Structure 1
């Protein structure tokens, strides 16, 4: 199960997750935590550090496919994953798009350093 993975932070809140990633201080440091909303449609959040900024990316659960997708709904060319582990494995080898919510600046990074509280 993914609960035992080194990158799974369980019910760790957003602030604790961000503090942990900032302590690691390496681009690509990441973890997955349960979303604070406890929403069945967005059960998890992928937190990623890049250039001293933590990006919190919603992980959506897709009932119709029983899979997962990153970010907000309605994107073109959306990637789907069968598990949280598949998301991690994919983005260790394929760049993850990060969009700054304030400036809309786009960056990419790989998931490189799993973090665990």
Structure 2
């Protein structure tokens, strides 16, 4: 076990690390255009949030894929509490055929 001071340093390092996520959204066929619009608005507003490194939405095989990067877990957590994120999560229920998934990803290079 690491000494207490090293544990605190390790925790600070972990909290300061970048966080990358890949949410995937499967729209109801008749609501795909609505989801695209909602994601475009979410992307526009989220890119202005403090700590945002990347926030880009892509289309793939009838689904939408979001690649998002944050300077730290704290900034991601703050982002997730913003009204524009909460509003998107609330309306997405009616736009999706299943709940969206969020996969943590790690840059390789």
Q: Compute the TM-score of the two structures, normalised by the length of structure 2.
A: 0.27
Q: Greater share of helix residues, 1 or 2?
A: 2
Q: Compute the TM-score of the two structures, normalised by the length of structure 1.
A: 0.26
* Higher relative contact order (CA closer than 8 Å, sequence separation 6+): 2
